[in-house]
Amino acid sequence: MTPLTESAARSHMSGVCFKIGPPRLVGIEVEWFVHDNRCPTGPVLPERLHAALDSLPLGGPDGTSLPSGARLTLEPGGQVELSSPPAPGLTACVDETRRDLAALRAAFAAQGLRLTGTGTDPLARPRLMVLDHPRYLAMERFFDSAGPWGRIMMTGTASVQVCLDAGAEEGPQALDRRWRLAHRLGPVLVAAFANSPLLDGKPTGHRSTRQTVWSRMDPSRTLAPGPDHGDPREAWSRYVLDAEVLCIRRPGGLPWTAPAGLTFRDWLAGAGERPPTLADLDYHRTTLFPPVRPQGHLELRMIDAQPGDGWIVPTALVTALLEDPPAADAALAALEPLGCADGPLPPRSDVWRRAATLAVADPGLRRAALACFAAADAALGRLPGAERLRAVVAEYAERYPARGRCPADDQLDALRAGTRPTPPEEAAP
């Protein structure tokens, strides 16, 4: 077998991680905590999770896909994730995902379980690892060496991830422009949709505790890949090669742990127990968690999970801003005063910290958020068939950023009122 070289690794990543072409597809990944209706503060056993999933009409090559093509998976702490198939546009993605989520909620309700949309599990209950796959055992060991944050991330956080095409080679939908906008939008998305003020039943002092957790983890795999200007492919290649290897797959039930401090660049240079392969490189990429991750498409990972069908608003907002060139121009202009490209990399920069702590109570983030919502409103007004989505986004803007509030404030209000801190699941808009 020909050894994998750094040049071959870079070339592979450039082609696989950034699929170039006119943008048209939209996808969404939504994660949910699962609570027992009768005992919300108790753990939910894996058997009940699997019973709910097994009651659904699953198929596909690995037996985890709904008839629509959406994949259902369990996260290490028992969170359920629904990953939509790529849809030809925003409205198609929203309509199909709403139908899939209705079936998912019904299947869990039949087991006496509810899906809770919030960025961190707000209840004081045991955080258990419900999966014993060697990947997660290696992750647990890797992250435990640097504090509690990795284990909290794995078992106590949930998100909404919006997935859009990477972009064209040049023009108003050029990759470098979409890459820049996706990163600069990050703190506004954290702030506008902050929904994790509680952990273990107590306020943390952060509107997005989930984002704070991510900011305290291994920087080689959670920071942004570099300045948001220049060639994204080069920045991403450097990032992947310089990240520490979290796990090395081994056959025969052997543990997948990796030597401490080994980067993929080191591995290519001869360190490690064997030469790496392209399959090792592709697997290594799945263990990296920057705010924007290129997976052929762009995956925006900084948004807290939302209650009910609240995931629709960030999906519509992000899609409108990235897919509509005039809206993208307006958003970039509104985001410029935040200085997102200056100083430490996200999510450890000052503006990202303010977004996680204050959310849109921060005046600068509130102004930028309102300008982005206004730009998205105009874009949705130009999108055929998006009237209902436009109304839902406008209603959210009025309810939250226009008042300096975010969903986290609803949780804090409920806690002060003496009600249980689990946010109520809202009716679909």
pLDDT tens readout for residues 31-44: 999 999 999 999 99
Residue 194: beta bridge partners? none
Q: What is the pLDDT of residue 422?
A: 54
Residues above pLDDT 70, as percent of the chain = 97
CA angle (269 as vertex; 263, 274 as ends), nearest 5: 85
Interval 192-234: pLDDT, tens = 999 999 999 999 999 999 999 999 999 999 999 987 767 999 9
Question: Within its chain, how far is the Cα of 134 from the centroid?
Answer: 23
Q: Residue 391: which residues within 8 A CB-CB, separation 6 or more?
A: none
Q: What is the end-to-end Cα distance of the chain in Å, rounded? A: 55
Q: Is the pLDDT at 429 greater than 50, yes or no?
A: no
- For the full predicted model, state whether its pTM sits above 0.85: yes
Q: Is the pLDDT at 428 greater than 90, yes or no?
A: no
Question: Within its chain, how far is the Cα of 318 from the centroid?
Answer: 13
Q: What is the pLDDT of residue 284?
A: 98
φ, ψ for residue 207, nearest 5 deg: -70, -35
* Residue 284 structure tokens: 């290594």
Residue 54 burial by Cβ neighbours in a 10 Å radius (0-12, 13-18, 19+): exposed
Query: For the residues 146-164, what does the mean pLDDT come to?
Result: 95
Q: What is the pLDDT of residue 260?
A: 94
Query: For the residues 343-369, what does the mean pLDDT come to?
Result: 94
Q: Is the pLDDT at 418 greater than 90, yes or no?
A: no
Write down the H helix ranges in 18-89: 46-54
Q: Is the pLDDT at 420 greater than 70, yes or no?
A: no
Let me know: does 6 contact 265? Beta carbons within 8 Å. Answer: yes
The Cα diameter of the chain in Å comes to 65
Phi/psi-derived region of residue 420, left when phi > 0, alpha when psi is between -120 and 50, beta in every other case: beta
Residue 385 burial by Cβ neighbours in a 10 Å radius (0-12, 13-18, 19+): exposed
Interval 10-26: pLDDT, tens = 999 999 999 999 999 99
* Dihedral angle sign, alpha carbons of residues 138, 143, 144, 145: positive
* Dihedral angle sign, alpha carbons of residues 163, 390, 360, 333: positive
